[in-house]
Chains A and B, each alone.
Chain A
Amino acid sequence: MAEEVILLDFWPSMFGMRTRIALEEKNVKFDYREQDLWNKSPILLEMNPVHKKIPVLIHNGKPVCESLIQMEYIDEVWPSKTPLLPSDPYQRAQAKFWGDFIDKKVYGSARLIWGAKGEEHEAGKKEFIEILKTLESELGDKTYFGGETFGYVDIALIGFYSWFEAYEKFGNFSIEAECPKLIAWAKRCVKRESVAKSLPGSEKITKFVPELKEKLGIE
């Protein structure tokens, strides 16, 4: 049966990157459609009426929203290649816990680094470093968060790596100095074709931040 897979996405989104990576990991051909978030397309509004956000995965005409949910869906629909989640219930719960942690904690604090000033900025920076250290501690000496195989938690986090240079520039700090093991992990991940294909260059992100701030009305 001919599969039609469309991804409504926005190139700098670390959430969209997750879905791109998951599809690439499974060798699924998809139609990538760049969205203008300040002028939302009819298809985006129709396929995600509740949140009106990207990424939206449209599979044979039916939408799946929310990047972590998309990852699990992709894993279930195309199970033949590398599984993204382990099969053991306890390990799956652990992976989902960390995916949820990343969702709850990383974006919010990181945003204060490039999007806020003064005390808020400093607080964001401090929290961000703490969160990365927690993640680094969870990684430990493993190759990937899941152990020997690249999976769900790695995919949930790696998109943020394309933003690290921007965070470092606007936060005036070095992430490698704070979390060398995490940087080593990130470098390992970007060697994978699925990741290299899905992450934009750090320079492009860093150049984009002032434009983003303007669009969001932040000084």
Chain B
Amino acid sequence: MANLPILLDYWPSMFGMRARVALREKGVEFEYREEDFSNKSPLLLQSNPIHKKIPVLVHNGKPVCESLNVVQYVDEAWPEKNPFFPSDPYGRAQARFWADFVDKKFTDAQFKVWGKKGEEQEAGKNEFIEAVKILESELGDKPYFGGDSFGYVDISLITFSSWFQAYEKFGNFSIESESPKLIAWAKRCMEKESVSKSLPDSEKIVAYAAEYRKNNL
């Protein structure tokens, strides 16, 4: 099949970043297409008519939506290299649980930290710190959430690290003092080319968040 997979994405999206990391982990060449939300492309609207959101991976003309779905699909479509999951069903279920935790608890909390102010932001900060501590406890002394190898949970969470500086600046706290192990883990992950190539600079994210706050708060 001659055509490259296409990734419909948006540069600051930590969800889009997951798809980028996943594809690069597998050594898959892909065409990255930046979406403009004020002017969504026909391909996006056609590929994700239900949610109209990024990321969308279009592979062999067929769309896969929702970032964790995309990561799982990439693992299954290119199974030979760097498997994202352990082979035992229990380990796999645990990995899914933790990625789901990131989506359910971490996502909302982190948005309140950078995207809100006042009481809402304070509440978000508390939820965020709680979630971070739970994740740190789950990581324990392992190099990665997946154990010795970088895997599904690592991919689901590492993309938020590009936003850490923004959380700290707008939330006025230090993530490292709350969770040094998580920061160490993030630095370890950033040494991987698949990660460092897929995450934008923290300063760019801070500027992006500042602009959002200026326009919305």
Contacts and interface: CB of A to CB of B under 8 A. Distances in A.
Contacts of B93: 64, 69-70, 72-73
A101 B64 contact: no
Given A73-B89, A76-B92, A96-B69, A101 B50 contact: yes
Contact of A93 (B73, B96, B100): B73
Contacts of B76: 89, 92
A164 B132 CA distance: 39
| Count class of interface residues, chain A | 20 to 34
Contacts of B134: 50
B77 A69 contact: no
Contact of A66 (B62, B73, B77, B100): B100
B65 interface: yes
A4 interface: no
Interface in A80-134: 89-90, 92-93, 96-97, 100-101, 134
Given A93-B64, A93-B69, A72 B101 contact: no
B173 interface: no
Given A89-B73, A89-B77, A93-B69, A69 B89 contact: no
Contacts of A72: 92-93, 96
The secondary structure that dominates the B interface is helix
A11 B66 CA distance: 31
B97 interface: yes
Contacts of B72: 92-93, 96
| Count class of interface residues, chain B | 20 to 34
A69 B97 contact: yes
Contacts of B89: 73, 76-77
Contact of B90 (A50, A62, A96): A62
Q: Which of A93, A97, A134 has the most CB of B within 10 A?
A: A93
A65 interface: yes
Given A89-B76, A89-B77, A92-B76, A97 B69 contact: yes
Interface in A57-73: 59, 62, 64-66, 69-70, 72-73
A100 B69 CA distance: 9
A90 B62 contact: yes
Contacts of A59: 90
A96 B66 CA distance: 9
Nearest to B78: A89
Interface string B89-106: 110110011001100000
B73 to A, nearest CB: 4
Interface string B21-64: 00000000000000000000000000000100000000100101
B89 to A, nearest CB: 4
A169 B213 CA distance: 44
Contacts of B65: 97
A50 B69 contact: no
Nearest to A96: B69
A90 B50 contact: no
A73 B77 contact: no
A101 B48 CA distance: 12
B131 to A, nearest CB: 10
A73 B73 contact: no
A76 B101 CA distance: 21
8 contacts: A64-B97, A66-B96, A76-B89, A76-B92, A77-B89, A89-B76, A90-B77, A92-B73
Interface of B: 50, 59, 62, 64-66, 69-70, 72-73, 76-77, 89-90, 92-93, 96-97, 100-101, 134
Given A92-B76, A100-B66, 11 more contacts: A50-B134, A64-B93, A66-B96, A70-B93, A72-B92, A90-B64, A90-B77, A93-B64, A93-B70, A97-B65, A134-B50
Interface of A: 50, 59, 62, 64-66, 69-70, 72-73, 76-77, 89-90, 92-93, 96-97, 100-101, 134
Task: Give 3 closest A-B pairs by Cβ, nearest first.
Answer: A89-B76, A76-B89, A73-B93
